[in-house]
Structure 1
């Protein structure tokens, strides 16, 4: 994969243009995704290697992106530890047995990689499909949810707008929060190493709800555990990407955990952040995903403006500041990728 634009950029090497992939690129904005989704439940899709491979390959085949990302979910670790996980249409993920007491935390398993073997199996199928593309060199990104984000789903029992129960735990019972986070961090490091052993070419850690935290709480209840996870990864030749909503604020702390790439949301000037990060640390981002609803002329202008801003900077992967929304027109996503691929420095 050394000739892959994505791997080169992730390792802060010179590229003739920024590589492109997009968070949630194998998702609900594609009719082909729904053809599969209408036949299977979401967890069936995640847990059946051939189906997970089919979905992973959709953006490779239909969009021509520069990197694939494993089709799975950040909450499979929580389920493997003992969470009773389900996904409801229009509601999202639910844990029927929320984790709120010391007894609940004690009941969670940490030796669970055997329960996640289906992910390793999916990775092997996907890599067979990618290698069949010949010289294209499309790397596969594995991923996991960060401990704070997984914790919030376990404690709240699902999605939350205010994270009230999670914040009550970290404020009133920080010792319980740390015990829970420590368990999740152990599982997450093992899980990412399982993916690396199975053949992914890079990994990304998603802290989707970090923006709910203050600076001090992010430092204590998120950064500390991401730092622990990254330190345990078998990362030789495997770039590590750290992403959170709130990265425009937390990027200096994120960098202290020594990822290869910090993925940045859309609330900040990307060049400014890049120049404040350690030398040789790449950035990923940071187009506002809502721009993909706009006219194609606007999409092109906004992408070119970002690229001109990043001109001369090594280590830049084009992505969105967060994921593609389900109702963004497929043609607009395809057009944005074409604009990126036609660009030359």
Structure 2
């Protein structure tokens, strides 16, 4: 590392005051970057993640280009699933496609366990490469949460209504909780291996859990999330929880033993605080705004920073991931705006 170590974001994750508002962007690695698009002409996502040198390059590129305060490991939430017996393929324009979707109790019983050093050594080697040699900012590792992973495994791919997932949950709670337990064990083991390899914070993506109402979340999801985060507390790294369209669940999330609560753009920082959310907050500019004129971007960004500065800990992010049509130049300019404006 040639540059001085920057741990500003870790301080914010811990709820400490910082000299400026730190920032990173979900899906900052890839998608909109021309260097990444060139790689994707030759390699699939899984092929990139299986080559540590290449994967490390993709992961650190936005840190070098934009000046963000953290790297997020380039991989997919599907990455650990083949190890437990899930036949998954990432199809361009579609997303994850599961060729052996869960339909019966027997399908759940067949699911195995993960041994990260044996099953995903390339993920851990990438983390080691980045954290020991290449980054001057913390690396965020991540995992999908049980509901979101289960939704792909049951539906066979992306879904708009999650009907099959909910049907299993409501009609066969015993099988549902067995599936949750298996996925929780996988998440815990997988995350621990990332921390051991050098990840300095962990984000759990429960991207699609907003499809559930609050009562069902309490019954079918919250217990397993409590187990996961309680187990991971011993790792002594900041734990972040994020989902989309889940403003009705944030008070449930606030009860969990997490360190940071990620917001999408549907709930403002001010509204979250008014609801009694006391944890450090991460978010939450609508990615679509980054396609607007700069004066709109600047106005909305400053508003979020101003709201975040009313409390000691706020980490700037988007309310969901970077989309392919957002230019690297915009992200770089946005990062500088966040840093400069929040220092004033």
Question: TM over 0.5: same fold?
Answer: yes
For residue 325 of structure 2, the aligned residue among 324, 327, 336 is 327
* Structure 1 position 26 matched with structure 2 position 29: yes
Change (3 A) 1:3 1:127: closer
- Residues in 2 aligned to 1:42 and 1:16: alpha-carbon distance in whole angstroms: 37
List runs of 5+ in structure 2 lacking aligned partners. Answer: none
- Residues in 2 aligned to 1:38 and 1:222: alpha-carbon distance in whole angstroms: 39
* Structure 1 position 45 matched with structure 2 position 44: no
Change (3 A) 1:320 1:112: same
Question: Residue 80 of structure 1 contacts residue 115 of structure 1 at CA under 8 Å; is this kept in 2?
Answer: yes
Within 5 Å, give how 1:254-293 maps onto structure 2.
254-274=253-273, 276-277=275-276, 279=278, 281-293=279-291
Within 5 Å, give how 1:92-131 maps onto structure 2.
92-113=95-116, 114-131=118-135
- Residues in 2 aligned to 1:182 and 1:236: alpha-carbon distance in whole angstroms: 20
* Structure 1 position 240 matched with structure 2 position 244: no
Question: Residue 296 of structure 1 contacts residue 335 of structure 1 at CA under 8 Å; is this kept in 2?
Answer: no
What's the offset of the Cα at 1:3?
A: 5.5
* Structure 1 position 341 matched with structure 2 position 327: no
What's the offset of the Cα at 1:276?
A: 4.0
* Structure 1 position 78 matched with structure 2 position 81: yes
TM-score (norm 1): 0.94
- Residues in 2 aligned to 1:159 and 1:34: alpha-carbon distance in whole angstroms: 23
- Residues in 1 aligned to 2:30 and 2:222: alpha-carbon distance in whole angstroms: 28
What's the offset of the Cα at 1:138?
A: 0.4
Which range moved further: 312-321 or 111-120?
111-120
Instruction: String of CA shifts for 1:69-104, please: whole Å, max 9, x gaps.
Output: 111111122222101111111121111111111110
Question: Residue 29 of structure 1 contacts residue 327 of structure 1 at CA under 8 Å; is this kept in 2?
Answer: yes
Report the 3-state secondary structure (helix = DSSP H, G, I; strand = E; otherwise coil) of the residue aligned with 2:120. Answer: helix
2:64 equivalent in structure 1: 61
Question: Residue 78 of structure 1 contacts residue 154 of structure 1 at CA under 8 Å; is this kept in 2?
Answer: no
What's the offset of the Cα at 1:315?
A: 1.1
Report the 3-state secondary structure (helix = DSSP H, G, I; strand = E; otherwise coil) of the residue aligned with 1:144. Answer: strand
Which range moved further: 242-251 or 189-198?
242-251
Q: Which runs of 4+ in 1 moved over 6 A?
A: none
Question: Residue 5 of structure 2 contacts residue 137 of structure 2 at CA under 8 Å; is this kept in 1?
Answer: no
Question: Residue 130 of structure 1 contacts residue 138 of structure 1 at CA under 8 Å; is this kept in 2?
Answer: no
What's the offset of the Cα at 1:319?
A: 0.4
2:173 equivalent in structure 1: 174
What's the offset of the Cα at 1:275?
A: 5.1
What's the offset of the Cα at 1:225?
A: 1.5
What's the offset of the Cα at 1:213?
A: 0.8
